[in-house]
Structure 1
Amino acid sequence: MAAPLTPARRSAYALIATDLDGTLLRGDDTFSDRSLLALARVTDAGVRHLVVTGRPAPRVRPLLEHLRGRGLAVCGQGAQLYDAGTDRLLWSVTLDRELAETALGKIEAEVGQVYAAVDQDGVDGLTLIEPGYRMPHPTLPALRVERRDDLWCAPISKVLLRHPDLSDDELAATARSVVGSLATVTMSGPGTVELQPCGITKATGLALAAEHLGVGPADTVAFGDMPNDVPMFDWAGYGVAMANAHPELKAVADEVTTSNEDDGVAVVLERLFL
């Protein structure tokens, strides 16, 4: 018989901010029972849990149901603040499509052809992929278009890039060197280099959500695995990188836990709160 749930012990943290892919989610896009139980026990005791992810709101909505999420979620690398309770965006920033095209042109002038996709803005926005682009997460729905111009048919929150030969680190470094103020360049996972509105990061979205919740940086513990989580770690009072995390994130983390496959988030939550 399972032990009865008990309230979380007092902790210095009032907010748990978790990335999804490579952090809270396992490789098969599922949550472990241990992670779900740890989060349930902590949130039942009054600690807030906030998803902070690169996924756009439509790709986050079904996952929040598994997490009993009825509050806020930071989506689209910080470009969207989504309210799951009302199924609407409280705040969103779009990437100017002309600037996005210009940025793509500058990148391709340096590295040759890249393959692109976009996440459309809105709670029902689609993910569009051009010919040659391969989705890093095959379980995520996407609509293939016939030509690149079709990517710009509606407002977008970000552009996703892949190169046939360059590594993610190489592509991201080149993109940063030529894009300048046209967009913010992030690397959010294997095969996922992204362009988002200039100045927008996970930290800007997290700060906005925390303000809504009446929580500050010192009250927040953040979990992540990729360089796009660095701004979130810089903002939060305590940053926990997964064992499978990119070296750039591990270098700025306060702690490295076990991997996403080995319940790394739950391991820390159980120690800090339970």
Structure 2
Amino acid sequence: MGRSGSGRVGGAPGPYSLIMAPFTAFSLVATDLDGTLLRADDTFSDRSRAALARVARAGAQHLVVTGRPAPRVRPLLDDLGCGGLAVCGQGAQVYDAGAHRLLWSVTLDRELAETALGKIEAEVGQVYAAVDQDGVDGLTLIEPGYRMPHPTLPAVRVERRDDLWCAPISKVLLRHAELSDDELAATARAVVGSLATVTMSGPGTVELQPLGVTKATGLALAAEHLGLGPRRTIAFGDMPNDIPMFGWAAHGVAMANAHPALKAVADEITRSNEDDGVAVVLERLFGAA
């Protein structure tokens, strides 16, 4: 993993390990949304807003890097007043919020996706699926039996699985009635890992996306567009889908509520998303309001 070389200070860290970085150490701040910058009620705290404003005043860039597709991200970007780029769909989309267009996108072959589902079900029995359609106005379609992990997100229920493939898609979301997310992700990775990238982005959210596409590939594309690179990038996240992003960035910060797999590769652990963990670190790096 690419790192700045600072590492954790001291020996075993306390509840929150801190690295005292120079004020101008980072020119790019990459943040996940769910479980990281967003609170459980899908809102941003005033403290987080103030910290991001401080980042902007210091001349650094903030990039949202999320599993949510562009149509589900736009209202949140509008709320933050962000008119720049965002990485959406687990890296499958680089979205220009100001122009409301995709600068780059890649789709998951629908026949391949259907084949992958069949292979997974041959191992674990019935799974329930949903898809995020490609495009700035793409829908989230869910088949019978699928429950949205985020009930606040809009979705359209279809009558049968075949209806999921009616338009180009960026990813497939999977749920199983009995298996844990870790178990489902491990099985899916074992049987379809050569066909698609398998990741876990939150409770009840195991996903199939185009092979080789991760948050890191999307972040690298967006950063290049901005004339920036990994050496001065700090990334925040909470789930295994953030591991590639941490590998690309110079410094990775996991939330206190993060999955153990992400904490294991993080340079630093901050407070939870409910306790303004992102803001705590940004205030240290860029100064408090």
If the length of structure 2 is used for normalisation, what is the TM-score?
0.91
Describe the SS at the equivalent of 2:194: helix
SS at match of 1:131: coil
Report the AA paired with residue 284 of structure 2.
Answer: R
SS in 1 for 2:103: strand
Which runs of 5 or more structure 1 residues have no equivalent in the other structure? 1-8
Asked if residue 33 in structure 1 is aligned to residue 52 in structure 2, the reply is: no
For 1:112, the aligned partner's letter is: G
RMSD: 0.7
Q: Does 2:269 align with 1:265?
A: no
User: Counterparts in 2 of 1:85-100, with a 5 A limit?
Assistant: 85-100=98-113
**Which of 63, 81, 86 is the matching residue for 1:68?**
81
* Structure 2 counterpart of 1:193: 206
Is 1:156 aligned to 2:169, yes or no?
Answer: yes
Shift of 1:188: 0.1
- The ranges of structure 1 where at least 4 consecutive aligned residues each deviate by more than 3 angstroms after the TM superposition are none
* Distance in 1 of aligned mates of 2:276 and 2:157: 35
Q: Does 1:224 align with 2:237?
A: yes
| Mapped partners of 1:145, 1:122: distance in 2 | 19
| CA displacement 1:24-70 (0-9 Å, x = unmatched) | 00001010010011101211221100000000000000000121111
Structure 1 Cα separation of the partners of residues 61 and 39 of structure 2: 22
SS in 2 for 1:272: helix
Equivalent residue for 2:66, pick from 45, 53, 68: 53
1:256 equivalenced with 2:262 (yes/no): no
Q: Does 1:245 align with 2:258?
A: yes
Q: How many residues align?
A: 266
TM-score by length of 1: 0.96
For 2:275 and 2:167, locate their aligned partners in 1 and report how far apart those are by CA, in whole Å: 40
CA distance, structure 2, for counterparts of residue 253 and residue 218 of structure 1: 16
5+ unaligned residues in a row in structure 2: which ranges? 1-21
Partners of 1:135 and 1:180 in 2: CA distance: 24
Q: Give the alignment partner of residue 177 of structure 1, picking from 190, 194, 211.
A: 190
Could you tell me how far 1:10 is from its partner in structure 2? 3.3
Partner residue of 2:7? none
1:127 aligns with 2:140: yes
Q: Partner letter of residue 204 of structure 1?
A: T
Report the AA paired with residue 112 of structure 2.
L
Q: Distance in 2 between matches of 1:181 and 1:110?
A: 16
For the 8 Å contact 2:188–2:198, the answer to whether it is kept is yes
Q: 1:235 is matched with which residue? A: 248
- Indicate if the aligned counterparts of 2:54 and 2:286 stay in contact, CA closer than 8 A: no
Q: Is 1:115 matched up with 2:128?
A: yes
The whole-number CA distance in structure 2 between the counterparts of 1:261 and 1:43 is: 23
Partners of 1:88 and 1:201 in 2: CA distance = 20
